[in-house]
Structure 1
Amino acid sequence: MVTETGRPAAAEVTVIIVSYNTVQLTLKAIATLYANTRETTFDCVVFDNASHDHSAALIRAAFPQVQVIASDQNIGFAAANNRVAAGCETPYLLLLNPDTETHPGAVDALVRFAKSRPSAGIWGGRTVFADGSLNRASCWATPSLRGLFFRAVGIAALFRETQFVNPEAYAGWQRDSVREVDIVVGCFLLIGRPLWRQLGGFQRKYYMYGEDADLCLRARQMGYRPCITPDAQIIHHVGASTVRDEEKAILVMKARASIIRDHWPEWKVGAGIFLMWLWAALRYLGSRPIAKSRRASADRWRAVWRRRAEWLQGYA
């Protein structure tokens, strides 16, 4: 966008994309970002976490206007975002996953929403899968003992759209209305730069997964109320940069244990960690008889169970 003087307008938003071996998806994410953002002035920074697919060079060649930082080691999602954000001066930061595609006007709608609801502090949109069906993982409620119990014993899988059974997923809500939420997921998360700095960004101990939940819950403790708007919609392909299903499952479990330890009252933590243990134990035992027919699931839960001492402690 150009001002009346002919000079480029100062950017309102810095879009931060952290990539890892997702070059084709990242190129698509950047292409849709530029094609479908029509009102908002923004800078785009890609931090590449030591990819082996020539991501940095290919992104630079395709989008010379994008600042690309090529790391010589994988420092994780939280640390990469922190490093980029430390050098930003725009009023807003937008965290955008490399496996996303923005719909027309999505970023514009999200920024307008933020300006109309400053008390939220953190804002998110609606995510869908490539076929247009709802991807409910744009936001979550804080994990609870009730929700963990129903998930551990398998009842949650039978009543996916029942809020009492699935409170963490905001079951039954199609993300089709403005709503205050506990956690905005970091695949499409807008935050004011002053609040980001006040919070100190992501806690670096959250190497991958859980860092967005921790950020939002810390903001809520300060009185902010993160919100979702259905007017800002993106496609999220989900998990494209995680190499092994087993490793992702272990990181997710470790992140959940960390959220319990960091954000639950001390008297509830022991029960929460036990329910995490029970969840893994029952899934491991239940997957053994069907190992041949569902090998991937069996392998995943066997790996999770064998490494339970690691993830039950959470991130140190």
Structure 2
Amino acid sequence: MDGRAGGRGPRRRRDRGAAPAGSQAVSARLAVGIVAHGNRDLALEALASLTGMGAPSEPCALLLLDNASEDGTVAAVRAAFPTADVVAQPFRDGFGANHNRLLTRAAADYHLILNDDAVLEPDALDRLVAHLDAHPEAAVAAPLVTYPDGRPQATAFRFPDPASCLRSLATLGQYGVEQRIASGWGRVGWASGCALLVRRTALAETGPFDPGFYMFSEETDLQRRLADRGWQTHLVADAVVRHHVRASTGGDPASRIVEFWRSRRRYWAKHHPRTGGDAARLALGGQYAALAGLARLPGPLRRLAPGLPASELDLHVRNVLHGPTGPGLRERADAWNAAHGVHR
């Protein structure tokens, strides 16, 4: 991989602060793209973590695309962060399609894909940038993600191939998929899209997100395509991001489950088009069926099941084995767009 993305030499610290919208930095080295989903206060907190004392040590373009929220996010962000480039999108669209718009708009060498419910700890972005500078083989640098109380979240995983899914079945999800890096950095299969620093030269080889994924698995698919081209994803444990889980996703549990498994089935169809996808699907269906059974048991055995009701686990089983059981997040967005006379 050496030579594919050359070293850039030591970075000099510059005055902290976001670059003005439309300035040279918008098409320069570093940008942050956030898609807002009706989480005004969280979006303001996310942006605040990128300015003032939390700003990276070099000019950084801040971009926010508002996904037709109805809570005054656009006005609040423009008032609080006048140098941010704010796009008021009149319709609702999916994760990958929206971030593709920001990737095109920024055209930076390094682009941080950030949820509106994620907050960077001080120096987190500097550490991710320094890591990509030092590791030209890496297309993606992902931070260590925690809950707001500091507990680590599971955000780095092996790719969901038949082997990992079978290991997950054999251990009821306790082993086979998640990867942890306690300190330093390490190579992982893929990392959650809530916070990813990506290298533009790598995306030029693979293309950006596949907009056919409305929500979920789009980052898995992108990092799989990057890996197929020889690029790596690294988890950088000393760069920390706090994440409010599911605030960006929205929707009720049933619509999230429908969308999750629709996207995962699309992933398997793309990357394991023969029997591999069927093997993975059957393995995970068996895992969730076993967990649903445990959730119905009294006493200590019930603790082996995740903290989900049996009825929700049943929904996972039906969706992974048989396909969508009802409207997903895509249909809910389409219904909102139709009700407001707009379309993607």
TM range (shorter): 0.7 to 0.9
Structure 1 window deviating more from structure 2 (10-19 vs 198-207): it is 10-19
1:84 paired to 2:92: no
Letter in 1 for 2:177: E
Query: Aligned equivalents of 1:246 and 1:175: distance in 2?
Result: 33
Between the aligned partners of 1:168 and 1:296, the Cα distance in structure 2 is 19
Cα distance in 2 for residues equivalent to 1:43 and 1:228: 23
Shift of 1:132: 1.5
2:89 — aligned with what?
71
Change beyond 3 A, Cα 1:230–1:289: closer
Would you say 1:26 and 2:27 are equivalent positions? no
The percent identity for this pair of structures is 25
Q: Which residue of 2 aligns with 1:300?
A: 312
What is residue 117 of structure 1 aligned with on the other side? 135
C-alpha displacement of 1:296: 6.4
Alignment correspondent of 1:149: 166
Which ranges in structure 1 are unaligned for 5 or more consecutive residues? 161-165
Change (3 A) 1:192 1:150: closer
| Residue in structure 1 matched with residue 118 of structure 2 by the alignment | 100
Report the counterpart of residue 267 of structure 2 in structure 1.
259
- CA distance in structure 2 between the partners assigned to 1:239 and 1:261 by the alignment: 26
2-structure distance, mates of 1:53, 1:300: 30
Q: Do 1:136 and 1:174's aligned partners in 2 also have CA atoms closer than 8 Å?
A: no
The correspondence for 2:241, drawn from 223, 234, 238, is 234
Once the two structures are superposed, the pairs formed by residues 205-220 of structure 1 within 5 Å of their partners are 205-220=212-227
Deviation per residue, 1:231-257 (Å, 9 max, x gap)? 211111221122212222222222332
Match for residue 168 of structure 1 among 177, 188, 196: 177
Give how far 1:105 is off.
0.5
The answer to whether the aligner puts 1:310 opposite 2:323 as a matched pair is yes
| Matched residue count | 297
Evaluate the alpha carbon distance shift between residue 250 and residue 111 of structure 1 in structure 2; reply closer, same or farther with a 3 A threshold: same
Cα shift at 1:305: 4.5
Q: Which has the larger displacement, 21-30 or 84-93?
A: 84-93
Q: TM-score, normalised by structure 1?
A: 0.84
2-side partners of 1:94 and 1:31: how far apart? 15
Give deviations 1:272-299, integer Å, cap 9, x for gaps. Answer: 1222333344445555678xxx996234
More divergent stretch after superposition (231-240 vs 246-255): 246-255
Q: What is the SS of the residue equivalent to 1:217?
A: helix
Q: Deviations over 1:42-83 (max 9, x none)?
A: 111111111121211211121111111121111111100111
RMSD: 2.8
Residue of structure 2 in register with 1:163 after alignment: none
- State the TM-score, normalized to the length of structure 2: 0.77
Deviation at 1:224, TM superposition (A): 0.8
Structure 2 partner of 1:56: 74
- Which stretch shifts more, 126-135 or 246-255? 246-255
Provide Cα deviations, 1:67-108, integer angstroms capped at 9, x if missing partner.
111211111111001112122222111101111111110101
Question: Using the alignment, how far apart are the partners of 1:305 and 1:13 within structure 2?
Answer: 42
Aligned counterparts of 2:253 and 2:58: Cα–Cα separation in 1: 37
Conservation of the 8 A alpha-carbon contact between 1:78 and 1:203: yes
Partner-residue secondary structure (3-state), 1:118: coil
Could you say if the C-alpha distance between residues 175 and 207 of structure 1 is closer, same or farther in structure 2, counting changes exceeding 3 Å? farther
Once the two structures are TM-superposed, the CA of residue 33 in structure 1 deviates from its matched residue by: 1.5
- SS of residue in 1 equivalent to 2:133: helix
